[in-house]
Structure 1
Amino acid sequence: MENEQLIANNTIIQDLLPQKFGKAGKIWTGILLAFCLVGAYAYYRQLRYGLQVTAMRDYVSWGIYISNFVFFVAISLVGSLITAVFRLADVHWSTPLTRIAEIIAVAAIIFASLIIIVDMGSPERFYNLFLYGRLQSPIIWDVVVITTYFFISLLLLYFPLLPDIKILLSFKEKTNKSLYKLYHFLGAFWKGSAEQSKLSDKAINILCITIIPVAFSIHTVTSWLFATTYRPGWDSTNFGAYFISGAFLVGGGAVMVAMYVFRKAYHLDKYITEVHFEKMGRIVVLLALLYLYFNVNEYLVPAFKMKKSEEAHLNGLFTGEFAPLFWFAITVGMILPIIILLFRKGRKPLPAFIAGIMVVVGAWFKRYLIVTPTLLHPFLPMNDVPENYKHYFPSWEEWAIALGSLAGAMLIITILTRIFPIIPIQETITEQAHETAK
C-alpha cells in the first residue's frame, strides 16, 4: 500500500513540476514582450511630450488608462474569491484553481498600480501622495487598500508555495542554477515539520479572513472615486455593490479562461477536470445574474426618473454614439455567457472557455463605458469649447500603453507559471491521500 502511495505521489510530482517553454510558449512570450516594448515606447513619448499625445482633454481627463485601472482592480478580486472564500468554506474541489487565481490577482494588482502612475502627467510627483495626502480624499483610501491588498495577495501566493518549493529543491537535476538559487532563497528554511505546517496553516487562515474585507474595501473605495464625483451616471448609491458584483464576475471568467489554457498547454486533464468547469460554470452563471441585476438597477431607476442631467448620458448609452459598445458589453459580457453556461453542454471545457472570454472582453468594455460617457455629459453643458473636447477616442499612444499593460499582466502570469507549479503539488498529494484513505 505504501509503495502504491509513493508511486502515486511521484506521478503527481512529475505531472505538476514546472515545465520549460516549448516553441509555442516562446512565441507567446515574444508576442507579449513585443506589446510591452511598444507600450514602453508610447509611454516614453508621453513622458517626453506630455499628455498632449493622448486624446484626453479638460472634460475626458480620465480615459482608457482609468478604464484599465478599474478592469485590473476588478479582475484581482479572483484571488479572494477562489482562495479565501472557498478555503474558509472548506471547498476542496477548488484546490487545483487556487494558485491560478492567486497569480492572476498578483499580476492584476501590480498593473493596477502601474497604470495609475502612467495616468499621472507628472509621475515624478507620485511621492506627494504619501507626503501630502489627505485622509478626506478617496484617492488616499484607494492607495492604502490597494497597497494592503497587494501584500496580502502576495503572502497568500507565497505561504502555500513553501511545501512545493521544498519539493522543487529536491529535484535539483531538473532545475537550472538560477531557478535553484531562487527556490533556495525563497524556501530553504522550510523543513515541513509539524510545527511549521501548523504555523503556516494558521497564517493562511488569518490572511484569508483578512483579505475578504480588504477585497470588498478596494472595490468599494474604487467605486467611491466615481460616486463621490458629482457627475451624471456616477451619482449613485448603488456603485459599491455594482463594482463588487462585476469584479466577482470578471474574476470568475478569467479563471475559466486560465483553466482551459493551462489544461491544454500543460496537459493537466487529470487535475483540472470537467467537474471543475461544471462547478465554475455554475458559479459564473450566478455571478452574471447578480451583476445583470445591478446593471438593471443602475440604469432603470435613472431612466424612469429621467432627470435632465441624466438624459443625455442615458440616451448616449442606449441609442447614441456609445450604444453599440453598451449593448455589446451587456449582451456578450453577461447575457450570452448565462445562456451558454445554463446548459450542461455549455459547461464543458471549450464552451466554458468561450463564455469566459466573453465575460472578460465584455467586462473591459463595460469599464470603458463607466468612465468615458459620463465625462462627456457633465451637469453643466459644454459651451464654447473645441469640437474635439466633445468626443473621445484614445490616441495610438493610449492604445499602445493600455495593450502593453494587459500584455505585461499576462507576461507576469506566464513567467510565474513557468517558475512555480501552476497546481499546488503538496495539497494535491494530501487530498489524494485523503481520498484513498476513504
Structure 2
Amino acid sequence: MARSGQMTESQWGSRMTKKAQAKFDRSTTKVCNSSRKVSRQESILTAAVAMFNEQGIGPTGLADLAERMGVGRATIYHYIADREDLIYRCFKRSCDADSARIEAAAAQQPGLDRILGYVRDSLDLEAEQTAIVADTSYLTGERREEIDIIRRRNYDALAQLIAEGVESGTIRSCDETIIARVLASMVVFLRMSPRWVGEGRNVKNIDVILETTAYGAASDRSADFSLLQSAETFSRIRVEEFGKQSIANMRVEQILMVGSQLINRHGVDNVSLEDIASAMGATRGAVYHYFSNKEDLVVRCMERGYELYDAFITFANEHGRNGLEKSAIISHLNTQALVGPLQPLVGWLGLDVLSPSLRRKNKQRLRDLLKRSDNIAAEGILDGSRRNFDYQAITVARAGAYLWIPKWISQIEDSRPHYVADEIVSLFNKGLAT
C-alpha cells in the first residue's frame, strides 16, 4: 500500500505517459511548424526563380515578389533576410541541381552519351524550375565565393567527364576545360533567350541541339578550318591623326572598351561610371565629360558592339567560300574579340537596365543580328556545306557560347584568342563525336 502523498505505480505511469505525450505533441508541433516554414520558403524561392528567369535579377525586387505572390513584404522578410539572401538561396539551389545532373551523368559508362545526357537534362522541364546563374556579382563576400566555388567545381567535373570520353574513344581530342564551359553557357542561354529572341523561334529543339553537339553542323566533318585574321584589326582606335576631335574619339573608344570589359565580367548592375574611371586611372569627371549617365554609356557600348558584330558578318560574307565557312569566320572573330581586349558588350545581358523604349529598340537590333546569322546558315544548307536541320535553335545556342567567355577565360590555362576560337569553331563544325 502506498503511503499518504505517494503515487501508485499506475498513477506514476499515467503521469509519465502524459509527460511523454506532451513532449511528443510539442515535438510534432515544432516539426510541423518547421515543415510549414520550409514549404513557404520553397514557394518563395520558386516564385523568385520564375521572376528572375523571366525578367532578370536586376529589375526584380522583394516588393515585386510579394506582389506576385499576393502577400505582404513582411511575409517575405519572415523567411528571407534580404534581397541578397534571396538571390543566394536561388543560386545555391540551382548550382546544387547542376551538380546532381553531372553526378547522374557520371554514373553512366564513360563516353559521349554522358555529355549528351547532361545537356538533355539541363534543358528539361525540371531544370526550368531553377534560377539561371548568369552573374554572381549580385552576391558579396563568402556567399559569392561559395557560389563561384561550386560553379568552378561543376565546370571541372564536366570537363573530367569529357576527358574520360576522349580516353574511351567516343569523344574526339579537344580542350575539355573550354568545351565544358561552352556547353554550360549554351544551355544557360537557351533557357534565358525566349524573353529576347521573340516568338516563332523554337529554341528548345532539344533533338537538334543534341545532334549538333555530337556531330556538328558541317556536312564534311573531316574538313579543316583556320583563320589568320585577328579580331583586333577591327578596333576603332586609330592613330592616323592627332587633332582634338581625333583624340576625343580615341578617348571615348577607350572608355567604351573598358566599360564593356567590366560589364561583361561583372554585369550591368554592378558597374558604375566611377568603376570605369578607376579602372582607367582617370577621374570621375573625365568619364562624365563624355557620358551623361550610366544608361548613356550602356547604350553606346551596345552600339559599339553592334558595329563590331556587323563588321564581323560583313567580313565573313566577303571572305567565306560557303555558308559553313562564313558562319565559322563569324564565330572565330566573336570568340577572339571576347577573349582579348576588344570585347564588344554582350548586349543580351544589358537589356534589363534600359528604359522600355530603348529595350525594344535593342531587342530588335539583336534579333536582326540573329536573322543575319540565320541567313548564312540557310545559305550553308543550300550550298551543301552544312547539314540540313533546324538551324534556328543552333543560332541561339552559338550566341550563348560567347556570353560568359570574359567571366571564365581567366580559369583557362591556354587563353590565346586564336586557340580558344579554334576549339569553339571545331565544336560547332565537328561536334564532339570521334
Q: TM-score, normalised by structure 1?
A: 0.29
Between structures 1 and 2, the one with greater helix share = 1
Q: Work out which of the two has the higher radius of gyration on C-alpha atoms and give 1 or 2.
A: 2
What TM-score comes out, normalization by structure 2 length? 0.29
